[in-house]
Amino acid sequence: MWDNLEIVVEKTDLALLKEKPAQDKLGFGAHFTDHMLRMTWNKEKGWHDAKICPYQDFQLDPAAMVFHYGQAIFEGLKAYKNEDGQVFLFRPQDNLERMNTSALRMCMPRLPVEKVLKGLKALVYLDRDWIPTNKGATLYIRPTMIATEAALGVRPSEEYYFYVIMSPVGAYYAEGFNPTKIFVTDKYVRAVKGGVGNVKTAGNYAASIMAGREAAKAGYTQVLWLDACERRYVEEVGTSNIFFRINDQLITPPLGGSILAGITRDSVMQLVRSWGVEVVERQITIDELLAACEDNTLQEAFGTGTAAVISPVGELCYRDQKYIINNNETGELSARLFEELQAIQGGRSEDPFRWVVRVG
């Protein structure tokens, strides 16, 4: 693993290794492991100085372009450990390819996918003792790229950092796999076609915080986003993709430029197709959805994303009206997908799609 890495490895002094947090009090993204991966880009040298080093602060010029015009992209994936201590990543190559799609749109440099994947595996292996072993807990991995050139002109930066940090996270559903309450907003929008909704770029999340906060104040977990032009077509839920099961058919909005191409979304589609469930990518209006809820043809609804995997929806609130889905219970397909995806990711189930990559 350490041969041909072309990445310098600077290990943290044993005496300086951090104390690991209690496994039952991890939360999300609150603790970080002992090491990070980092690499620098400039016009002359391209990507260089790749290294795995102790987790540490950056020193950046206050004029660094990321602070002003937001050239910042990221990814989210996880490492899982099975009962035998074997470590796995789930579709890591797809995350890095997607990061390159994001980089292209934001005029940032392409990553060398093979090299980064090797470095990522080495980093996960080095910090493998941080991967939690209790049920549902995982190691969340956050690759990030930022513009670091000190200059105030609005143009692509000529210097960048790429880095990967990792955080042990607790089971998303600490109190059981229960449906969430979702607030449908027609006041705010997340993304427009032609914009950057299909890019994992920092500004999208900054722009979504206010809607999320208003939903939380009203007692809802997440926001359901409608399209920006007509505010009729369902797009995503929070930072997850969304699926509806209506008349035994699974429906998800098509990727039209304003929706993030979720890897969990793609995995769900492939998996349920292999089970003989019909899946269609088509536009669905909020009116059609609520009508299906009222005449009980809407059997279940769930969000998909790396953090929660599957997130069942039990209630929608739209224009002060409440709509209950499936008696506010977790649907049959949601539950099956949650179990099966977790089993594949954790190396406990067969992997017919060859999604899982072994580390070490």
Binding stretches for ligand PLP (CB under 6 A): 76, 200, 236, 239-241, 260, 262-265, 304-306
- In this complex, which beta carbon is closest to ligand PLP, that of residue 266 or of residue 339? 266
Q: Which residue has the tokens 């809820």?
A: 293
Task: State how far Cα 245 lies from the chain centre.
Answer: 23
Instruction: For the CB of residue 64, give the shortest distance to ligand PLP in the complex, in Å.
Output: 23
CA dihedral 98, 262, 307, 97 (to 10 degrees): -10
Q: Decide: 78 and 139 in contact? Cβ < 8 Å.
A: yes
- In this complex, which beta carbon is closest to ligand PLP, that of residue 222 or of residue 330? 222
- In this complex, which beta carbon is closest to ligand PLP, that of residue 138 or of residue 240? 240
Q: Which residue has the tokens 């789930």?
A: 90
Return d(Cα 206, Cα 18) in angstroms, integer. 31
- In this complex, which beta carbon is closest to ligand PLP, that of residue 148 or of residue 264? 264
- Paired strand residues for 356: 90
- In this complex, which beta carbon is closest to ligand PLP, that of residue 158 or of residue 266? 266
- In this complex, which beta carbon is closest to ligand PLP, that of residue 54 or of residue 76? 76
Helices marked H in the chain: 66-69, 92-105, 113-126, 202-217, 263-274, 286-294, 332-345
Instruction: For the CB of residue 154, give the shortest distance to ligand PLP in the complex, in Å.
Output: 25
- In this complex, which beta carbon is closest to ligand PLP, that of residue 148 or of residue 241? 241
Task: State how far Cα 224 lies from the chain centre.
Answer: 17
- In this complex, which beta carbon is closest to ligand PLP, that of residue 106 or of residue 126? 106
Q: Decide: 65 and 108 in contact? Cβ < 8 Å.
A: no
Instruction: For the CB of residue 191, give the shortest distance to ligand PLP in the complex, in Å.
Output: 8
Instruction: For the CB of residue 264, give the shortest distance to ligand PLP in the complex, in Å.
Output: 3
Instruction: For the CB of residue 209, give the shortest distance to ligand PLP in the complex, in Å.
Output: 13
Non-local CB neighbours of 223 within 8 Å, separated by 6+ positions? 182, 183, 184, 185, 188, 208, 211, 212, 215, 237, 238
Return d(Cα 300, Cα 110) in angstroms, integer. 39
- DSSP 8-state symbol, 94: H
Instruction: For the CB of residue 140, give the shortest distance to ligand PLP in the complex, in Å.
Output: 11
Instruction: For the CB of residue 206, give the shortest distance to ligand PLP in the complex, in Å.
Output: 13
Q: Two tokens at 286?
A: 């909020």
Return d(Cα 345, Cα 81) in angstroms, integer. 9
Q: Decide: 239 and 212 in contact? Cβ < 8 Å.
A: no
Instruction: For the CB of residue 204, give the shortest distance to ligand PLP in the complex, in Å.
Output: 7
